[in-house]
Amino acid sequence: MDFLEAIAARSRGRGYRIVFPEGCDARIIEAAIILQHDGSARPILLGAKKEIVDAAIAAGLDAGTLESEDPSCSPLLEEIAGFYVSKRRGISHGAALRMVRRNLIFAGALVASGKADAMIAGAASTTADVISAAALTIGYRKGISTPSSFFIMMLPDGRVFFYADCAVNVNPDAGQLADIAISTADSYRRLTGNQPKVALLSFSTRGSAQHPAALKVAEAVQIVKKRNPDLMVDGEFQVDTALVPQVATRKLKDPGPVAGNADVLIFPNLDAGNIAYKLTQYLAGARAIGPILQGFARPVSDLSRGASTEDIVQVARILCSQI
């Protein structure tokens, strides 16, 4: 059983309530039907019921058994607006009512209030809008102030790596890089059941080069160790030091448990992360699953606007495994 098969088996029958703000998208409707059929989730589609039904019919689908809510006239509006006021002190009830009529905000408020377990958006929304809505409603995990993302990289030989951040933070500072490392370690632990070995990457290995970019990574390592002393984390490492035991033993007097054995790779900036995951995907033949958002108090994820139905189902199952 490979990683995705294990995730599918773990999520099947759990029936978590996942809200989809873009409920009129045919890909979302098809994914919701699949998830409901196998019991992985109880989907909630947002949008006007007629528009959802018309979109389903146009795609040759039957959405008759799917639950839906229309944020423009939902009977939950007053309750959700009241909850939003409690979360965003200083906003009037009238302003809150206007805000929660927006699908992304309504979806986030459903999750934050416990009426849904997770939120998946992005099929027709920008990553920035999804993150903004989640931050305004769900908020961040305790101790985390930086939203980020990770990719699950499945290599042909069966090895699985988590790469971060490859989609959100352009040039994180040391504190933000520490947040990314801590969030990704937690994501790895939740999804695999194993203890992560986290390497923060650079063009330098433990001071072999003196440059502000390398010093930033080294500082981030110390922040992570201080905040999570039990986490197996090390760096700054060049990528061969992180992945190849023979290289690690040549370059380091005391390699430790991470060097040569890392399974969570934290990149110093978005250039490095985005390039690395695509090189791994296209040259090594790896399967890239993501990006999956992380750092929020409840599970949230973004979708590529080119996401397929299969992609959406996989993301939903991954979120269910994190609840």
- In this prediction, residue 40 has a pLDDT band, given cuts at 50, 70 and 90, of confident
Cβ-contact 151, 163 below 8 angstroms: yes
Per-residue burial over 250-280, b = 16 or more CB atoms within 10 Å of its CB, e = otherwise: ebbeebeebbbbbbbbbbbbbebbbebbeeb
pLDDT higher than threshold 80 for residue 89: no
Of 180, 228, 230, 183, which Cα lies nearest the Cα of 200?
Answer: 180
Please state, rounded to an integer, the average pLDDT across all residues of the chain: 93
We find that the CATH architecture of domain 3-139+296-320 is: 3-Layer(aba) Sandwich (3.40)
In this prediction, residue 242 carries a pLDDT of: 97
Q: By percentage, how much of the chain surpasses pLDDT 70? A: 100
Beta strand 300-302 pairing with 118-121? parallel
pLDDT higher than threshold 90 for residue 90: no
pLDDT higher than threshold 90 for residue 170: yes
State the Cα–Cα distance between residues 119 and 302, nearest whole angstrom.
9
CA angle 237, 239, 244 (to 5 degrees): 100
- What are the tens digits of pLDDT across the range 234-292? 999 999 999 999 999 999 999 999 999 999 999 999 999 999 999 999 999 999 988 89
Backbone angles phi, psi at 194, to 5 degrees: -110, 160
- What are the tens digits of pLDDT across the range 206-233? 989 889 999 999 999 999 999 999 999 9
In this prediction, residue 321 carries a pLDDT of: 86
In this prediction, residue 2 carries a pLDDT of: 81
In this prediction, residue 306 carries a pLDDT of: 83
Average pLDDT over residues 36-59: 93
In this prediction, residue 305 carries a pLDDT of: 82
Domains 3-139+296-320 and 148-288 share a fold: yes
Q: What is the largest CA-CA distance in the chain?
A: 67
How many other C-beta atoms lie within 10 A of the C-beta of residue 101?
A: 17
Cβ-contact 268, 274 below 8 angstroms: no
Q: Kindly list the domain boundaries of the chain, sorted by start residue.
A: 3-139+296-320, 148-288
- What are the tens digits of pLDDT across the range 128-147? 999 999 999 999 999 999 99
- In this prediction, residue 1 has a pLDDT band, given cuts at 50, 70 and 90, of low
CATH number of 148-288: 3.40.50.10750
